[in-house]
DNA sequence: TTGAAAGCGCTAACAC
DNA sequence: GTGTTAGCGCTTTCAA
């Protein structure tokens, strides 16, 4: 059962040509006659030849693989299928090439070391980085390695050269405009961490929409994207701004916390207070009432990151991308 | 920036020893004097040497990577973070080795072809297969390749030689015993697809528990693990067995559907009818009332699959594993 | 358009 | 305990 797979040389013999010619056919270079091309292809199928990846890598200096590095092991990241969706997108694009996917969770020091190994040993042709924290060392490591690297999402401190990101600002604006269009005037917001790009962008989107409509942007409370922080912020808002009629919450997790507080305080949603979240996590459709929220195109993020990396690999010049979000209207607003 | 990394030969020169010695140190073979060992290690750090994986693979006939193949792109699989959790477990074990992880989604024909390539080109040293359907060709492909392969979960048709699975039967039994211990006598079940190992095992677990307690095992309706099928099955049960006081449902998705029907029919949960689900999906804690369910050790599944594969790689003889499940008691039973 | 041959950087067998 | 060397299977010049 474990017979050694045929080598390129054996294919050459069978086809009656040189190894050079076989190699040319396989990598479909020009300068091969139809005749020998046919002969080689037959030999390949007859023998069931498959090139040895290690040998190919060594000779060509290309690895035939890209690595997806995920920095955070934050449950919040995983909680909305983010992970699975991104990978689905990445895989879809990779399927059309002959590149393989290596996956690395690099939250720990050990993980970062392993990432360094991959980089230094040229274990991959390119890198996709996801969910980096602020000042994440991975970003610099990738840069120093000189390997092509694309980022999913941005950080506040340093815009990566190539990235794909969701339109957090536009999404927030749309969400708030939806509130406005349904007649809300006293709109509040619960922000996420403002030292993240997403947190700040969503806050900016809120302000933009509200100021453009001639409304107040003073009803603000800060959270950290977590459910409990959303609850705490909602309490503050209710105490400080009892007149509020709606709230844009920068994450669904915080919105869930806010909803619970609203219920406690006897506020009806959406009649008394309308609520819009952000992310469209799985549980958003199961809250009471179901949460109106902004959906990010996560699978598309994976796809576009991969396309971008492939362009880089081909020596082309890609351009960074901001992907549109979508407002999912349910019952809470 | 893109200076060629140092080679083993350069390390040897710097350390004043032969390449053989350097190689021995790196692969920490015995028969190296402390002296040259030290010299080599210094040279390595001085030069920042990292072995070239392709060259190493070619020479050693080992790839330094294992591949995780996921067959299903079924949302049901993804819905409960299954994916993310498995990978977290796999990664944790891999971190302790110098093996890397390749990931392949092989639901499409193209994906299967790529899997075949990896197998034939010896692109990985071993294989982990997840979420195979019945009669999935991937299983046979892996077997034919002769590469070490471990399975997560089993199928009904052919027990793989090496697998890790959750104790579906035991979990179901525990769930039903919980119902019995809280005084329920007229226990019903909604099964999953009985042509899957998990579906059948859970049904078996139900029967075991109920028969052992001297209760009837006749209150049965069949679903296909989906929410809508759970709703339909619940209606049937209510019509055929109006006396039922509880129901063990073979998946949380179906349980969610059942809960909705119970509400429609004015049955109070758990007062009139207690409900236990299976899987502990994220939304289980957000149903009304929160769902009592059976949790599978998914991360552990990933970990144990990986450990098993590593044993195989080392030429050891592992043993297949059934991992215990855990009853999560919430409000519905 | 094709063949021949020199590596790619490492491991492992063998000799010392 | 250490050095030497012949490959691993492919790509890629360079000639022809």
pLDDT at residue number A73: 65
Query: Across the beta sheet with B149-152, what order do the strands follow?
Result: A321-323, A163-166, A149-152, A126-130, A65-70, A100-105, B100-105, B65-70, B126-130, B149-152, B163-166, B321-323
Domain extent listing, chain B: 8-60, 65-165+298-323, 168-295
pLDDT tens profile A247-284: 999 999 999 999 999 999 999 999 999 999 999 987 78
Residue spans of chain A under pLDDT 50: 1
pLDDT at residue number A1: 43
Mean pLDDT, chain B, integer: 92
Chain B window 49-108: residues with CB closer than 7 Å to nucleic chain D are 55, 58-59, 61
CA distance B325 to A76: 24
For the structural domain made of B65-165+298-323, what CATH number should be given?
3.40.50.2300
DSSP code at position B317: -
Do A116 and B98 touch, CB atoms closer than 8 A?
no
Distance from CA of A224 to the nearest CA of B (A): 21
Reported as a pLDDT band with limits 50, 70 and 90, residue B1 is very low
Q: Protein footprint on strand C: which nucleotides are under 7 Å from a CB?
A: 1-5, 7-14
pLDDT at residue number A77: 56
Reported as a pLDDT band with limits 50, 70 and 90, residue B195 is confident
Would you say the C-beta of B58 is within 7 Å of strand C? Answer: yes
Cross-chain residue pair B58–A54, CB shorter than 8 Å? yes
Cross-chain residue pair B122–A146, CB shorter than 8 Å? no
Reported as a pLDDT band with limits 50, 70 and 90, residue B244 is very high
pLDDT at residue number B73: 64
Expressed in percent and rounded to 5, the helix, strand and coil fractions of chain B are 45, 15, 40
DSSP labels, A107-123: SSHHHHHHHHHHHHTT-
The domain made up of A168-295 is a member of CATH 1.10.760.10: no
Contacts of B123 in chain A (CB under 8 A): 53, 100
Single out the residue of B95, B99, B77, B98 nearest to residue B86, CA to CA.
Answer: B77
Question: Is B15's pLDDT higher than 60?
Answer: yes
Reported as a pLDDT band with limits 50, 70 and 90, residue B284 is confident
A328 — contact with chain B (CB < 8 Å)?
Answer: no
Question: Is B254's pLDDT higher than 70?
Answer: yes
Pick B123's closest partner by Cβ from A53, A88, A118.
A53
Domains A65-165+298-323 and A168-295 share a fold: yes
Distance from CA of A29 to the nearest CA of B (A): 21
Cross-chain residue pair A2–B84, CB shorter than 8 Å? no
pLDDT tens profile B197-227: 999 999 999 999 999 999 999 999 999 988 8
Single out the residue of A188, A245, A185 nearest to residue A214, CA to CA.
Answer: A185
For A8-60, the fitting CATH number among 1.10.260.40, 3.30.470.20, 3.30.1360.120, 3.90.550.10 is: 1.10.260.40
pLDDT at residue number B269: 94
| Omega before residue A270 within 30° of 0, cis | yes
Nearest-by-CA chain B residue for A89: B105
pLDDT tens profile B108-161: 999 999 999 999 999 999 999 997 877 889 999 999 999 999 999 988 877 789
Would you say the C-beta of A27 is within 7 Å of strand D? Answer: yes
Q: State the count of interchain CB pairs (< 8 A) between A and B.
A: 128
Question: Is B8's pLDDT higher than 90?
Answer: yes
Q: Suggest the residue from A53, A58, A115 to mutate for an interface test with chain B (most B CBs closer than 10 A).
A: A53
Question: Is B71's pLDDT higher than 50?
Answer: yes
Contacts of A52 in chain B (CB under 8 A): 58, 121-122
pLDDT tens profile A195-237: 889 999 999 999 999 999 999 999 999 999 888 999 999 999 9
pLDDT at residue number B97: 94
CA distance B292 to B57: 50
Partner B, chain A 142-181, Cβ-Cβ below 8 Å: 144, 146
CA distance B3 to A329: 53
Pick A88's closest partner by Cβ from B65, B104, B105.
B105
CA distance A31 to A19: 14
Cross-chain residue pair A50–B120, CB shorter than 8 Å? yes
* Structural element, H or E, at residue B151: strand B149-152
Chain A window 41-100: residues with CB closer than 7 Å to nucleic chain C are 55, 58-59, 61
């Amino acid at each position: 059962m474990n017979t050694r797979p045929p080598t390129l040389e054996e294919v050459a013999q069978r086809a009656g040509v040189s190894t050079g010619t076989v190699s040319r056919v396989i990598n479909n270079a020009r300068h091969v006659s139809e005749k020998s091309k046919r002969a080689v292809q037959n030999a390949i199928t007859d023998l069931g030849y498959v090139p040895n990846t290690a040998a190919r890598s060594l000779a060509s200096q290309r690895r035939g693989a890209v690595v997806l590095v995920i920095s955070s092991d934050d449950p919040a990241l995983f909680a909305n299928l983010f992970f699975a969706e991104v990978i689905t997108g990445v895989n879809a694009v990779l399927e059309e090439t002959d590149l393989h996917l290596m996956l690395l969770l690099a939250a720990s020091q050990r993980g970062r070391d392993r990432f360094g190994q991959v980089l230094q040993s040229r274990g991959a042709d390119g890198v996709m980085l996801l969910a980096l924290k602020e000042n994440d060392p991975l970003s610099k490591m990738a840069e120093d390695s000189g390997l092509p690297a694309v980022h999913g999402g941005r950080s506040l401190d340093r815009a990566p050269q190539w990235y794909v990101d969701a339109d957090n600002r536009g999404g927030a604006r749309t969400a708030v405009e939806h509130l406005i269009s349904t007649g809300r005037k006293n709109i509040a917001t619960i922000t996420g961490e403002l030292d993240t790009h997403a947190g700040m962008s969503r806050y900016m989107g809120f302000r933009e929409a509200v100021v453009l409509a001639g409304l107040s942007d003073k009803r603000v409370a800060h959270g950290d994207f977590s459910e409990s922080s959303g609850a705490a912020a909602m309490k503050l808002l209710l105490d400080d701004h009892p007149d509020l009629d709606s709230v844009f919450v920068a994450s669904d997790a915080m919105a869930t916390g806010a909803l619970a507080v609203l219920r406690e305080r006897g506020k009806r949603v959406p009649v008394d207070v309308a609520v819009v979240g952000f992310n469209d996590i799985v549980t958003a459709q199961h809250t009471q009432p179901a949460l109106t929220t902004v959906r990010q195109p996560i699978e598309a993020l994976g796809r576009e990151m991969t396309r971008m990396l492939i362009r880089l690999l081909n020596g082309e010049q890609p351009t960074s991308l901001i992907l549109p979000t979508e407002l999912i209207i349910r019952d809470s607003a």
